[in-house]
Structure 1
Amino acid sequence: MLAPAGTWIITPGHKTSRFPAVRSCRADVSLVDLEDSVPSASKPQARDAASTFFTDPPARPVLGIRISSPTTRDGIHDLAALAASPVKPPIILIPKVESARDFEIVAGALDTSRYTPLLYALIETPRALEGLPAIVRADRIAGVLFGTADYATTTGCSRTWEPLLHARATLVTSAAAAGIPAIDSPYFALDDFDGLRREAEQVKALGFTGKSCVHPSHLPVINDVFQPTQEEIAAAHVIVRAAENAGGSIIRVDGHMIGPPMVTAARALLARHTHHTPNGAPA
């Protein structure tokens, strides 16, 4: 399976009434949560309900789960429940990752000859940021997500753009060096759609390949920002055709010099567009 990027949404595992809407929404990935959004007393209920979230998975979104940190008692219980479950998620989001060892624990508990889920790291502490070079090269890592709430709480900074810019840029750089997708944090002001769009455009410009959210009302804005426009798709087709006709030489397109990095970016854009089009056909 291609490691998904794009739009991600997460819903509390003990709020089963929300499952149908999250399973049928226009996100690329929908996660059921066993961690922060679930009170301690409701965690056993959430573990039991999770299997119903994964039954009869839709074509889109791809379904997944956020477990508790595998270095905690709750995380151990989550892994045991997943290992015993007859229905398992394609994606597992591991929170509070600070070492590549976290992937070894999760993979060791869950991997079988028939089941090897995509493992994503939630980067949300200064120690994780310092350990990124090793984390992004873990054998089983599929991608990274940024958690602004915990990061800001740990560092004492605000959740505005400037204080978090260094962490975001560092995460994107490390993810790009490892060739894995980087997904940005949710925008927590639920009714501020202008602010959401502005932040989504900023993180896309920075190099993030997607953004997560905690409410379905944010999905149309995030999808609109991260889905290539028809103009971008048409321009990418022109670049790729011109490069193929030039046999790999540097080319001129619409007054711009186009070298191999721009051709690679155009091909990547077209690949993402085809992946998100029904039946994989160009729109």
Structure 2
Amino acid sequence: MMPSNPQKLANAWTPPGPALLFCPADRPERYQKALDRADVVILDLEDAVSPENRVAAREALIAHPIDPDRAIVRINPSGTGDYRRDLAAIADTNYRVVMQAKAEDPDSIIATALQTIALIETPLGATRAHEIASAVNCIGLMWGAEDLVAGLGGKSSRFGPDEIRPGEYREVARYVRSLTRIAAAAHDKFAVDSVHIDINDTAGLIAEVRDAVAVGYTATACIHPSQVPYIRDGYRPSEDEIDWARKVVEGSEAHHGSVFSLEGQMIDGPVLRQAEVVLARAVAALDVPVGDNATPDQT
């Protein structure tokens, strides 16, 4: 039987949990420590590694394997020598999922010949998000604010302390965040929310995770292990949410799928689907790896 979406891989990889932790690929002593603390590790061959260290990073990637089901390798942008060398190195490993930095067209995704998460972080990439998401081996999208704003000739993706809504994203970043989520959903691919770079801004991280969950993001990337528990907590439904979702599902069954009222709220098909998502996230949270998140010097 053909898959329901011909542009979607059968049995495509999905993140086994919501917290994706970046780790520099030239620091192999941190690989397993990062994996012990997060759900997925993103072994970074791009921004986290200086150009002069990329040869060593690729050698480390090959020599120090970790669980390929819980690892993503971020590769350099298409059209660069590093892109080709990154893919050649990955061919000598068991890793099967890559994240392509600065994705700008579907052909460069297809050219990886691997399951690929496209990172939407340039103006051109943003304008082509839907095309990129349509690539058959594109399994998900992530977005990034800092490269995006740099490509616009700007200086900051967030409002400063003396501006309106300090610490929050500017509208152009929020637009690309929304665009990425919509493009992913339109092509039945998962979406990963961007990192919260202010490690000490716990309140800001919690707020962004809460919003990411509300609009259907699958996971959130992070740069520090101390952020992992907040991400996991944000994606884990509360007892009140689970109780509400169960009442919705049970009520729908009792009313044979017809519209009904629950505690003053009209329950129809879209609300039922939202309740089913809450219960699915509750089940998924039971399988999230639990590690020691307390060592802040591992990334």
Match of 1:9, SS? Answer: strand
Pair 1:264 & 2:264 matched: no
Cα deviation, residue 158, structure 1? 2.3
Cα deviation, residue 206, structure 1? 4.3
**More RCO (CA 8 Å, sep 6+):** 2
Equivalence for 1:113:
none
Equivalence for 1:77:
85
Equivalence for 1:9:
21
Pair 1:91 & 2:88 matched: no
Match of 1:220, SS? Answer: helix
Equivalence for 2:224:
215
| Alignment length (residue pairs) | 265
Pair 1:23 & 2:35 matched: yes
| Cα contact 2:259–2:268 (8 A) shared by 1 | yes
One-letter identity of the residue aligned with 1:62: R
Give distance in 2, aligned partners of 1:42 and 1:24: 25
Contiguous gaps of at least 5 residues in structure 2: 1-10, 159-168, 290-299
Cα deviation, residue 279, structure 1? 9.4
| Cα contact 1:70–1:106 (8 A) shared by 2 | no
Give distance in 2, aligned partners of 1:157 and 1:177: 31
- Give the TM-score normalised by the residue count of structure 1: 0.86
| Cα contact 1:62–1:90 (8 A) shared by 2 | no
CA 118–233 in structure 1, closer or farther in 2 if over 3 Å, else same: farther
One-letter identity of the residue aligned with 1:95: A
Give distance in 1, aligned partners of 2:63 and 2:224: 20
Q: Deviations over 1:35-86 (max 9, x none)?
A: 111111111111111134534x28xx82121111232100100111111x1x
CA 102–237 in structure 1, closer or farther in 2 if over 3 Å, else same: same
Give distance in 2, aligned partners of 1:22 and 1:136: 28
Q: Percent identity?
A: 29
Cα deviation, residue 157, structure 1? 5.5
Give distance in 1, aligned partners of 2:185 and 2:36: 30
Cα deviation, residue 211, structure 1? 1.4
Pair 1:33 & 2:55 matched: no
Contiguous gaps of at least 5 residues in structure 1: 108-116
For the aligned residue pairs, the C-alpha RMSD in angstroms reads 2.1
CA 269–157 in structure 1, closer or farther in 2 if over 3 Å, else same: farther
CA 270–54 in structure 1, closer or farther in 2 if over 3 Å, else same: farther
Give distance in 2, aligned partners of 1:91 and 1:9: 15
Equivalence for 2:157:
159
Matches within 5 A, 1:130-141: 130-141=127-138
